[in-house]
Amino acid sequence: MDSKYSAVAGVKDAKTNNFKRKFVNIIENNVKKVKLSQPDYKLNNVHGTNKNYKQTIVKEICPVNMQEARKRLPVLMVRSRLIQEIRNNLTMILIGETGSGKTTQVPQIIHEARLEGLGSIAVTQPRRVATITIALRVAAEMNTEIGGYVGYSVRFEDVTSPKTKVKYLTDGMLLREAIMDPLLKKYSVIILDEAHERTVNTDILFGIVKLAQKERIVKKLSELKVIIMSATMDVDTFRKYFDNCPVIYLEGRSYPVTIYHSKMKQEDYQYAALCTIFQLHATLPSEHDFLVFLTGQEEIESVMYNIKQIAKEAPGPLIKVCPLYAGLPAAKQLQVWKDPPQGTRKVVLATNIAEASVTIPRIKCVIDTGVVKERTWCTRTGAERLRVTRCAGAACWQRAGRAGRTAPGAAYRLYTVADLKARPPHSTPEIVRCPLAPTILLLIAAGMDPVTFPLIDAPSSDSIEASLVLLKELGAIDSESNPKLTPIGKKMSAFPIDPKYSKILLSAPEYGCLEEALSLVAVLSSENVFHTPMHKREEALKVKQKFISPLGDHITLLNVFKDFCKAPLKKQWCKENYLHHKNLTYASEIRHQLLSICQRLNLTVSSCGNALDQLLKCLLCGLFTNCAWLRSGAGGEGKSIGVGRYVTASGAGASLHPAGALHTARPLPPAVLYTELLHTRRPYLLTVSAIQPHWLHRAAPEYARRCHASR
Ligand SMILES: Nc1ncnc2c1ncn2[C@@H]1O[C@H](COP(=O)(O)OP(=O)(O)OP(=O)(O)O)[C@@H](O)[C@H]1O
């Protein structure tokens, strides 16, 4: 709320010189001016699982003069040299400025020179939205339909065909393909893009492709070329890891980006962002769209609300605000690529999902707050901590690189030059700060040894051990040393979801509740279904009451999903009930896919009807490590750490989240099952249900014994 008031105060200031004096000062000047030209557009044909939304954005992704623009890209200037290098080397690192054409052009260059031979080209991306938009762009550039020669594959959506030669896919999807075929035989070229991001999946893929290359030589199979790409990566580390492979530096970028730095430290980055937006808004033409980097959904919604309020009074053209964050339904994410009506400025408020790879045409100004919300995991307590932290230098350069892609641009950094210099150049790899059980299961399923697997940066042995213990207790592996998949582990790895969730599905027939378990796991694997707009918060919470179950959040979610499935006019129904229509639709698509895997595995699909405690018992089979007990004394006791009314099995203190169904329950249940333990300002248990403590013994006897012994 504070930010709202300070922002509105900012508007009042904006009408006085006070505002200008205050915020013009934050910028250091260094301007270049270049003329812009406006492209005209045509609509291309696309197909996919959701035709409509892709058609609405494709015209912005594929302007008619695209081929002209392509020719000017720096990567095409060195086309023949690049072809030669790729021919001569099995592995290479390609470094080129943001926007130089690596992601969209290198696969095309390879394909045009037929370097892939009979195989195909895989290009990985860390993020879904980038994967889809880039594939659409490349299909248009190659004048072919998406899903034909060019396709993409993201979780729960595969738009490829046997014809596909250039396939964009998320790193997670390529990892899943590696389980089925660790030698990745259908590919002759694999491009691992945005290597600097160091997601767990990409880090594992580095090892997988390295091993596959060697193995294919030993087995006298066709060779596998590997290209590692980024604009901002730690070259020495990668080069060493890839046996001193050659590094190709690509000079030049599409258009210049002028960088402005704040002259002084900004105490409130949201306020500084708002002021910068309106300062630029008052002076720049409406075709200059803005991209503002913020840290998360709540912050984006709050800034969005403030912009809309301020815009009513501020000088300048009309404003269209577009949010862009991971939890937003895919179709809404893609709306960001749509041009606003003429005379209107688009202001995109994004998290770091828009930081790398993407090109949003018309973005001429990037406003970078310099912060990111980072998730870390504590091996000992199993708690995930979400905290806002300064992003690494590489991320700052990536963000600036989102401007200057279709015309010259500018990046306004709300932090000082000294601050930038003090930042670590690269972020800590995800693999050393995340739970590893899902990844280790995939590695074992692909026949690899998780302990000796070659990694650039190895996670701590504690972290690997904790994950192996969890997999053993889930029944996925036979032992922690020299682990092999059990029959149930093999089935678990068939599902593209966390092993805790696949264990729930595999246990459900025993509890007669697979119908309900499928719905719930689908909803939990989708994004947040509740829509709580800031300005209608009270009303949204009131409407939510009708779904709330005294048993807790899981059954509440199930109630929502069941009613959604029954509603004849789903969109309208969601609107009236403050629910995200797209996220629920996505959940039903996920359910559909999970159901077909269950049917393939011959699982009995039946319903537990009103005996919903069966479902909760079944949930415990996968989420048994996520139990918490009510503290006996007000201040807590024993070995618990931190604050909160509950203590988890690992001794972490936490409170029920205020948005949860059990928050106001009295008396509070003595034991609960939670889906997530999240540490934001304080530790919270998220998506919580009441359970009976003795259920744990049947659901996970081995764990219950260990847990009992240590309590
Ligand atoms: N959707 C799009 N709309 C308009 N232009 C686009 C689009 N996608 C790509 N381009 C153009 O192609 C250029 C090259 O994009 P590409 O993603 O290949 O660059 P890159 O070198 O991989 O950049 P990064 O390192 O930031 O990922 C962009 O700068 C832009 O001019």
Give 398-432 pLDDT, tens digit per residue. Answer: 999 999 888 899 999 999 999 999 999 998 898 88
In the predicted model, is pLDDT for residue 633 greater than 80? Answer: no
Nearest to 524, CA basis, from 477, 556, 570, 488: 556
The crossing angle, in degrees rounded to 10, of helices 17-24 and 269-283 is 110
CA-nearest residue for atom 8, ligand 1, is: 359
Per-residue pLDDT, 385: 72
The string of DSSP codes covering 538-595 is: HHHHHHHGGG-BTTBHHHHHHHHHHHHHH-SSHHHHHHHTTB-HHHHHHHHHHHHHHH
Residue nearest to atom 27 of ligand 1 (CA): 357
What do you get for the CA distance between the two ends of the chain, in Å?
41
Q: What residues are in contact with ligand 1 under a 6 Å CB criterion?
A: 61, 69, 73, 96, 98-105, 133, 137, 231, 254, 356-357, 359, 361, 401, 405-406
CA of 358 relative to ligand 1 center, distance in Å = 7
- pLDDT, position 56: 37
Mean local confidence (pLDDT), 521-544: 87
Mean pLDDT of 9-32: 32
pTM: 0.79
Residue to mutate (ligand 1; options 131, 138, 405, 406; most atoms within 8 A of CB): 405
Q: pLDDT digit string (tens) for 440-482?
A: 998 898 888 888 899 998 888 888 888 899 999 999 999 888 8
Identity of the highest mean pLDDT range in 4-8, 32-36, 44-48, 167-171: 167-171
Is residue 582 over pLDDT 50? yes
Nearest CA to ligand 1 atom 17: 103
**Both structure tokens of 26:** 């934050």
pLDDT at 7 over 50: no
Pairing of strands 363-368, 409-413: parallel
The pLDDT value given to residue 35 = 23
What average pLDDT does this structure show over 607-621? 96
Ligand 1 atom, smallest distance to 337 CA: 1
How far, rounded to the nearest angstrom, does the alpha carbon of residue 5 sit from its chain's CA centroid?
31
User: What ipTM describes this predicted complex?
Assistant: 0.97
With 50 as the cut, is the pLDDT of residue 57 above it? Answer: no
- The residue whose CA is least distant from atom 9 of ligand 1 is 359
pLDDT band at 28 (very low <50, low <70, confident <90, very high): very low
Q: How far apart are CA 214 and CA 224, in angstroms?
A: 9
* Closest Cα to atom 18 of ligand 1: 101
